[in-house]
Amino acid sequence: MKAKRRLGQNFLVDSSYQERIIRAVNPRADETIIEIGPGHGALTEHLVDSGARVIAIELDHELILPLRAAFATRDHFSIIQADALEVDFAALIEPAATARVVANLPYYISTPIMQRLIEARTAITEMTVMLQREVVECITAAPGGKEYGFISVLVQYACEAESLFDVPPGAFRPAPKVWSSVLRLTRRAAPVAEVRDETMLIELAKVLFSQRRKTIFNNLRSGYTRLNLPDVEAIHAALSQAGLDPQRRAETLTLTEMAALTNALTQ
């Protein structure tokens, strides 16, 4: 079967990296694990062997039948054909209340899938995911540099992020053009800074980073209708309340400052 590029199908064929990922996850028999995009089952096999209850989500219907056949005798394995961007994770894992996620993610949906997983974090305590190395560098970046952006804010607000190791293109078939990294995200007991409205934080981060070389004031002026602000005066008022210089750039804002601005915009 030919790999489908449009579905991000780069299968992890190097068993040493498969084993490293599984060692990092350390699956246990008493837990539920969601695997997104099992593909040919490179990681699935090891997850199922641990005795954990494994729920796989695969979009490609051509891969579902072989996976069902391969795991037919394993009663703690199930698979659904679905788009992981549409799945209700809390409902999927019932009767369990929480699960961990393991995935060699399709890179074409990295940001939306991370957003979905973060939004579902009452049900998801930890994620070990493989992503493009550049994306992992952005997710784990500290404020102040060019890697720090929307996805850093989205993820770090909710999770502790740890880059575990890099994986070369040659570990996959077909080989991608870029290196990958394995990332562990652990849900924070409480967010770094409390915000009244998380949706506003996410929208604000999108607006502030929409043109990263612009000042935060200029980005807010271009995007103020997206934030339901009545006029430019409201931008000045919110920036002043949050104690932020309008001439700063988004990449210099800490999560605490981003949260202060979110709260100033959601009185």
Whole-number Å distance between alpha carbons of 189 and 159: 9
Q: With DSSP H G I counted as helix, E B as strand and the rest as coil, what are the percentages for the chain, rounded to 5?
A: 40, 20, 40
DSSP string, 157-225: HHEEEEEEEEE-GGGEESPPSS-EEEEEEEE-SS-SS--S-HHHHHHHHHHHTTTTTS-HHHHHHHHTT
Q: Kindly tell me which of 74 and 248 has the beta carbon lying closer to ligand SAM.
A: 74
Smallest distance from ligand SAM to CB 91, Å: 16
User: Are the C-beta atoms of residues 136 and 199 closer than 8 Å to each other?
Assistant: no
Cβ proximity to ligand SAM, 63 vs 227, nearer residue = 63
Task: Tell me how far apart the alpha carbons of residues 211 and 213 are, in angstroms, rounded to a whole number.
Answer: 6
Q: How many binding residues for ligand SAM (CB under 6 A)?
A: 24
- Which of residues 35 and 251 has its CB atom nearest to ligand SAM in the complex? 35
Q: Does 8 help bind ligand SAM (rule: CB under 6 A)?
A: yes
How many Cα atoms are found within 13 Å in the side-chain-facing hemisphere of 173? 8
Alpha carbon 76 to its chain centroid, in Å, reads: 26
Residue 157 CB, shortest distance to ligand SAM, in Å, is: 24
Q: How far is the CB of 129 from ligand SAM (least distance, A)?
A: 10
**Cβ-based nearer residue to ligand SAM, 32 or 219:** 32
Select 21 or 139, whichever has its Cβ closest to ligand SAM: 21
* Min dist. Cβ of residue 6 to ligand SAM (A): 9
Query: Does the protein bind ligand SAM through residue 58 (CB under 6 A)?
Result: yes
Considering only 32-40, 69-77, 121-129, 250-258, which stretch makes contact with ligand SAM by CB under 6 A?
32-40
Q: Which of residues 97-116 bind ligand SAM (CB under 6 A)?
A: 104, 106, 109
Q: Contact between 9 and ligand SAM (CB under 6 A)?
A: yes
Q: Which residue has the tokens 């997710």?
A: 139
Contact pick of 65, 85, 175, 232 for ligand SAM (by CB under 6 A): 85
Residue nearest ligand SAM, CB atom distance: 37
Q: Which of 99, 100, 104, 88 is nearest to 42 (CA)?
A: 104
Counting contacts by CB under 6 A, is residue 39 touching ligand SAM? yes
Nearer CB in complex with ligand SAM: 63/154: 63
Q: Which is nearer to ligand SAM, 175 or 232 (CB)?
A: 175
Helix (H, G, I), strand (E, B) or coil at 22: helix
Return the bridge partners of 131, or none: 181
Using DSSP, state whether 256 is helix, strand or coil.
Answer: helix
- Residues forming the site for ligand SAM (CB under 6 A): 7-12, 36-40, 42-43, 57-60, 63, 83-85, 104, 106, 109
